[in-house]
Amino acid sequence: QRRARGGICTRADYRLLMYMYRQQLLQPNVIQYRRVGMWAPEASTLQSSEASASVDIEVQLHRTSSENAGAIQLLVFHSSALRLIGADAYGADNPRIYCCSAELEARAVSGCNRAGHMIVKRDDERGEASSPVWIRDVDFAPNATDASLRTRVSVLRSGVYYLLFSSCDFDTGDVLISGHTIWQNPYGYLPGELYPFLPFFGLMCIAYAVLGCVWLALCIRHRPVLLPLQSHIGGVLLLGLVETGVWYLDYKSFNGGGIRGVAPVILGVLVSTSKKTLSRLLVLAVCLGYGVVRPTLGNVAYRVLLFGVVYFVFSAVLDVAANVSQLSAVSVPLRLCFILPVAVLDAFFYWWVFSGLTRTLGQLTTRRQSAKLQLYRRFSYILIASIIASGMWVAWQMLVIVTGSLDARWDSLWTFDAFWHLLYFSILLSICYMWSPSKSNLQYAYMDELGQEEEEEEEVDLPSERNL
């Protein structure tokens, strides 16, 4: 919801593609809008012969003041037509104007054809006879308080579509909107931006299942020499399987019914947060030398567990707020209360990981533990590569956002989140490969290190005694 003088900012609420309006207030000089990705029937590879794409609108309008005549407008258009909405009537340095006033009509501002209505310019660039913007006026006669609209807008071109409710006539007064809009894609109710997640999470679930079965078979085969660390890796694989399975079922249900329940979303978020937390604790324990340089973490274990609990709490709050509520609609101070703790904890985590890894590498170098040293060096290379890849991906995301090309890249925005799932799985796959259960497990175990360390201490001390 934005004042009509202001700019139209992108907003998407993916919880409901059967969007309900329950006495939603529309004030004069205000625009309310929806933004959803839609696939045209011919662009979908999964459509049937009767597949279609459309936006169904069924709303009832009630205004609180009925003395004068009034009107509101509904607009539906492809994102390529967004440039036709509004005008820079007072220069590019001032806010864009979306409502036509008597003054602007007198100045013959392009697209301002009638005071009290939206400014919609002709598409001279394309030279189209008909406007690419679908417009429907809903008029209120004097002393009339109620009106209704029921219609369907067909989607013939793939892309991001906007639906606007505008009230540019001050005589209309406050209007309460009830009813619903239904956004139907050829394959179901999932927004076009989110549909790729359905096969993606299905494939990720299969990948976790295959990797988990292989890991379980290796653990059973080499059970006598199994390391505690390898059992923890199995737990992370199980959480990854559950997480991707929950998200797949959530999107499948959403696509079939059009309504996304809050409970599945919260369950998926909590499982994802649990996996993320346990993974961080696992990486931290490995970097601190757990099971390789030291048999236990000792007193450090309490700090590691405390970090895990704090991280889980703050990360769960942030993820639930981002997935269930509209985080972008929250006030900036409250939003910072969600984001800053997680950012600080992430920074602290990376500092702890690399300081612990540096210390462990130094200990292995001093003790000349060649097999373990090679293992940890490979692990450090993987971590460094993941950080570089993460930095490059974040830079790419920022470039897309800053250049304002979100609408143009709408069909690939899902990769913003999918990348992190793939990166996480790649790191986990590398860890599974390096720490896979085998007959040579004991060369990485602490008991083997203890014997070598004692021999090295004797080799150092004896020459010292002869010198004396």
pLDDT at position 126 = 59
Domain count, the chain: 2
Residue in 55, 251, 237, 278 with CA at minimum distance from that of residue 157:
55
First to last CA, the chain: 85
Residue 102 belongs to a domain: yes
Given a cut of 60, is residue 328 above it in pLDDT? no
Q: What is the pLDDT of residues 332-376, one digit of tens each?
A: 566 677 778 888 888 898 899 888 888 888 877 887 777 778 888
* Residue 387, both tokens: 């950080």
159 bridge partner residues: 38
> Which of 184, 219, 243 finishes a domain?
184
441 touches 435 (CB < 8 A): no
pLDDT band at residue 50 using 50, 70 and 90 as cut-offs? low
> Which of 134, 150, 184 finishes a domain?
184
pLDDT at position 331 = 53
- Which helix H or strand E contains 191, and what residues bound it? none
Sheet-wide strand order for 54-63: 18-26, 175-184, 54-63, 146-154
CATH number at residue 385: 1.20.1070
Residue in 391, 392, 397 with CA at minimum distance from that of residue 414:
397
For residue 400, the SS3 value is helix
Provide, for the chain, the percentages of residues in helix, strand and coil under a 3-state DSSP scheme, each rounded to the nearest 5: 55, 20, 30
Residue 458 belongs to a domain: no
Asked whether the CA dihedral 285, 289, 290, 292 is positive or negative, the reply is: positive
Q: Are 156 and 55 found together in one domain?
A: yes
Q: Are 242 and 218 found together in one domain?
A: yes
Q: Are 208 and 98 found together in one domain?
A: no
d(CA 183, CA 356): 51
Q: Are 139 and 248 found together in one domain?
A: no
Calculate mean pLDDT across residues 76-101: 86
pLDDT at position 319 = 83
pLDDT at position 59 = 92
> Which of 121, 154, 184 finishes a domain?
184
The percentage of the chain sitting over the pLDDT mark of 90, rounded to a whole number, equals 17
Q: Are 312 and 179 found together in one domain?
A: no
Q: Are 82 and 215 found together in one domain?
A: no
Residue 156 belongs to a domain: yes
pLDDT band at residue 400 using 50, 70 and 90 as cut-offs? confident
- What does pLDDT average to over the chain? 80
For residue 43, the SS3 value is helix
pLDDT band at residue 463 using 50, 70 and 90 as cut-offs? very low
Q: What is the pLDDT of residues 148-171, one digit of tens each?
A: 999 999 988 888 999 999 988 888
Q: Are 318 and 173 found together in one domain?
A: no
Q: What is the pLDDT of residues 268-309, one digit of tens each?
A: 888 888 888 988 888 888 888 776 666 667 777 888 899 999
d(CA 293, CA 57): 65
pLDDT at position 298 = 73
Q: Which domain holds residue 26?
A: 2-184
- pTM (two decimals): 0.78
Given a cut of 90, is residue 74 above it in pLDDT? yes
